[in-house]
Copies of this chain bind each other. A is one copy, B any other.
Amino acid sequence: MHQILIYEDNERLRNSLELLLKGMPNMNVVGGFGNCDKVIEQVKNLVPTVILMDIDMPGEGGIIGVEKVKRHFPEVFVLMFTVFDDDERLMACLRSGANGYLLKKTSPLQIIDAIENVASGGAPMTPEIARRVLETFKVERKIPSDLGLTPREMQVLELLIKGHTYKMIAHDFSISVETVRSHLKNIYEKMHVNNGNEAVAKALRMRLFE
């Protein structure tokens, strides 16, 4: 039996949802609210297993809502339910740990499906959303920007990032400090930076290391 809590500011829609879900034999709607202002208390009291969460609500919206819920009750499944489909909000919800993301044009049948799905550990998304999530991965792929650093230079840079001094680096590789110096000079030149701090920042931002 799924215990469902609904956050949706449009009363008519909220009522429709309640009706829809109550019509299912294995679903129980434990509550419905128009904003997330008291979401923590409400979840504590009503102990839902799945939350249907609208994004755009007066007062605290669904993005703050999912954050709060997931921070305090990570075991509760949160299913975002919204008309919005901009990447900004989508990513914000996903980062906050939303378990699924439905667009409001989703059919009632699919909503039921999604609830079953999320409750059994899945992550329901409309194909459209899934596509955009994958798109993000591609975008996140960092250009294998080639600075032309030699293998040795990469090793030296790596230790520099770890906070090692020239002396320590020299010792680690059993080479002279002067050599480390030389490598660093070349590294700085290739990276177009003037000191270690900048090089470290640039290297990490380019995802040369992680």
Does A196 interact with chain B (Cβ within 8 Å)? yes
The number of chain A residues with a CB under 8 A from chain B is: 41
| A194 / chain B contacts, CB cutoff of 8 Å | 163
Tell me how many chains of this kind the complex includes: 2
In the complex, the answer to whether B198 meets A137 with C-beta atoms within 8 Å is: no
In the complex, the answer to whether A127 meets B137 with C-beta atoms within 8 Å is: no
In the complex, the answer to whether B163 meets A99 with C-beta atoms within 8 Å is: no
In the complex, the answer to whether A122 meets B117 with C-beta atoms within 8 Å is: no
Does A125 interact with chain B (Cβ within 8 Å)? yes
Known contacts A96-B141, A163-B197; A123 and B117 CB within 8 A of each other? no
Known contacts A96-B141, A98-B134; A165 and B195 CB within 8 A of each other? yes
| A95 / chain B contacts, CB cutoff of 8 Å | 137-138, 140-141
27 residue pairs A–B, Cβ–Cβ below 8 Å: A94-B134, A94-B137, A96-B141, A97-B134, A97-B138, A97-B141, A98-B134, A117-B127, A120-B127, A122-B128, A123-B127, A123-B130, A123-B134, A124-B127, A124-B130, A125-B130, A133-B133, A133-B134, A160-B197, A163-B195, A163-B198, A163-B199, A165-B195, A197-B197, A197-B200, A200-B204, A204-B205
- 7 nearest A-B pairs in the assembled complex, by CB-CB distance: A163-B198, A122-B127, A123-B130, A123-B131, A94-B137, A95-B141, A200-B200
Interface residues of A (CB under 8 A from B): 91, 94-100, 117, 120-125, 127-128, 130-131, 133-134, 137-138, 140-141, 160-163, 165, 193-201, 204-205
